[in-house]
Structure 1
Amino acid sequence: MTTVNLAKYFGRVGLRDLQPPYTADRDTLKRVMEAQSKSIAFENIDVVQKKSISMDLEDVQKKLVEDVRGGYCFEQNTLLKAVLEEMGYSVEPSLCRVRWGKQDDSAGPNTTFTHLVLKVFTKDGIFLADVGFAGTNSIEPVRMDIGGENQELPEGRFRIVPSKHKGFFVLELLVKGEWRPLYEWRDEKAPLVDQECCNWFSCTNPKGRFTSQFFVCKIIGEERHHILNDQYVIRKGFGANSQVTTDTISDKARLETLVSDVFGIKLEDTSGIDRFLS
């Protein structure tokens, strides 16, 4: 059975001072989530290049840690799960329907399970951990307090409430006075075979977001940087007071420089990454 190499991982995310015995509490979970979010970019470059996405831990570890690449949720949270378990946490994966930016689904679900999150049991309670929902998720743990008080976190105000779909819960973010859903899930452990099926669908569906758009994202200091197709966006702050700058990428050389120098992604193969440029 493959296990994660904590020394290599901690070196990759800048946590070399973390030494055993580890304390499986909220504060340590927060440190690990923040470190990974600020060190390993969210990206779908392999999908754009029509390469397969593996959830095998050995493959994920090689790509994200050793090869200095990024990945999307099925890779990012697979890595985080392995790290936390090696540190002594108990972790359960859950599959989610993405609701952020989607059409109303009051008549019934109109999105399938294309996102993976983690339910983490700590000495301080149970938390939702997610380092793979680029752009809007909390990089701090969100307490699994269903219908409880709103949670003030560095990225904004979050809450977890029952979904309008029976048996589901939804993570919501307060945006300009309105609670907006990010994703919803059932409180059940997702078997690996289901995770692999949803991962395969996410990286092969010709109408899906990841096969039809180029996307990279990384938190740098207090800013969120992302590229969507030919738009390079920097957002500082959150909510009504956030500051956003946007620049158009017009050539492959500029895109390659941004991917390497800003997002810290080491690409051996850059073929096809410019097909979404205008």
Structure 2
Amino acid sequence: MTFLPAYIKRIGLSSVPTRADLATLALVMAAQSRSISFENCDVVLGKRISMADADVEAKLVGQMRGGYCFEQNTLLRMALQALGFQVTPVLCRVRWNKPSDEDEPNTAFTHMALKVALDQGEYLADVGFAGTNSIAPVALGTANSQALPEGEFRVTDGRPGYQVLQLHVKDEWRALYSWRVGEAAAAIDLECANWFSCTYPKARFTTSFFVSRVVGDEHHHILNEEYVVRKGHGVGSTVEKQRVADLEQLLTLLEEVFGIELAAGTDVTNLDRYLPPPANVD
């Protein structure tokens, strides 16, 4: 099976879309977000992450795995280009839960997103920021609030030369990530950022376990030992939390909730290294 039909089947669509328009972009983004989990299992297991198109396709489509932003948005870029879209990768500085960067940048370019050019203008497309990004396209070129399925978003100016994606949370606008205006990400820069993210000892994904998936109107994620289900968004949202007890429960959640099928024979030693140690039994 060639790439595009296999991808369309993987994300649960019944047929290949025939128009490269906003409706198709929204359809594909939502379908991938609901079908392919964000996950860093391979990083936790000490493996290196490849951004090569063939490797991304083999893992996320052929092996029924998920991936983090450099894999997820590489796959989305491949699919959109195959559907006839004009796509530009961009590198972003993560701003979510970070201190002000008014004086100087204090986060590296460790996130990949996409800009998609349509007849009505450019849109930001991102299926790889896990629990807080919009699974629908975000219009660029306007600072107005945009009511989207995952909440209210807007794009505004940041530090000089940057734009920022923001999410409205508890009566305030909070920055998710920023990018340089008008600058496309070179392949070598993406490769370096990906290498940093899966190897640097203090990088987020080498120091924690994280998996996330959109299920209906719910966001499910596991961060280290905590399994969280958030229903809805904004003031009407509810959050349920539980502790992941052991490796057996973690593997069950990965398969049954997140649709992650680790290959037979995978050495899962250390996959549970962020879970609490077993209680002492006298």
Q: Which range, TM-score by smaller chain?
A: over 0.9
1:86 alignment counterpart: 82
1:7-46 equivalences under 5 Å are 7-19=5-17, 22-46=18-42
- Map 1:225-236 onto structure 2 (within 5 A): 225-236=220-231
Residues 59-92 of structure 1: per-residue CA shift (max 9 Å, x gap): 0000000000000000000000010001100000
User: Deviation of residue 17 (structure 1)?
Assistant: 2.0
The separation in 2 between residues aligned to 1:200 and 1:79, in whole angstroms, is 17
Q: How far is the alpha carbon of 1:126 from its aligned partner?
A: 1.3
User: 1:54 & 1:256 partners in 2: Cα distance?
Assistant: 23
Distance 1:271 1:67 in 2: 20
Aligned partner of 1:177 in structure 2 is: 171
SS in 1 for 2:256: helix
Q: CA deviation at 1:104?
A: 1.9
Instruction: Give 1:68's aligned residue.
Output: 64
Which segment is superposed worse, 122-131 or 95-104? 122-131
Cα deviation digits, residues 164-186 of structure 1 (max 9, x gap): x1110000111111110000001
Which range is displaced more, 58-67 or 138-147?
138-147
C-alpha distance in structure 2 between counterparts of 1:82 and 1:60, whole Å:
10
Whole-angstrom distance in 2 between the partners of 1:227 and 1:9: 25
Deviations 1:191-249 (A, max 9, x none): 10000000000111111110000000001111000000010000001112110000001
For residues 49-68 of structure 1, the aligned pairs below 5 Å read 49-68=45-64
Question: What SS does the aligned partner of 2:65 have?
Answer: coil
Please say if 1:115 is aligned against 2:114: no
Instruction: Establish whether residue 209 from structure 1 lines up as the match of residue 204 from structure 2.
Output: yes
Identity of aligned residues (%): 54
* d(CA) in 2 for partners of 1:183, 1:231: 24
User: Do the aligned residues in 2 keep the contact of 1:146 with 1:162 (CA within 8 Å)?
Assistant: no
* Aligned residue identity for 2:256: D
Q: What aligned pairs does 1:261-272 form with structure 2 within 5 A after superposition?
A: 261-268=256-263, 269=266, 270-272=268-270
**Residue number in structure 2 paired with 1:128:** 124
| Mapping of residues 149-160 of structure 1, within 5 Å | 149-160=144-155
CA deviations on 1:72-122 (whole Å, 9 max, x unpaired) are 000000000010001100000000000001122222111000000000012
Contact 2:37–2:258 (Cα < 8 Å) also in 1: yes
Q: How many residues align?
A: 271
The aligned runs of 1:241-256 (5 Å cut-off) are 241-256=236-251
RMSD of aligned Cα (Å): 1.0
SS of structure 1 residue aligned to 2:105: coil
TM, length-normalised to structure 1: 0.95
The corresponding residue for 2:280 is none
Q: In the aligned structure 2, how far is the partner of 1:196 from the partner of 1:157? A: 32
Residue 130 of structure 2 aligns to a residue whose secondary structure is coil
Find the aligned partners of 1:256 and 1:106 in 2 and give their Cα distance: 42
Measure how far apart 1:23 and its partner are: 0.9
State the shift of 1:124 in Å: 3.2
Contact (CA 8 Å) 1:7, 1:16: kept in 2 or not? no
* 176, 190, 196: which one aligns with 2:185: 190
Alpha-carbon distance in 2 for matches of 1:276, 1:166:
39
Q: Distance in 2 between matches of 1:247 and 1:84?
A: 37
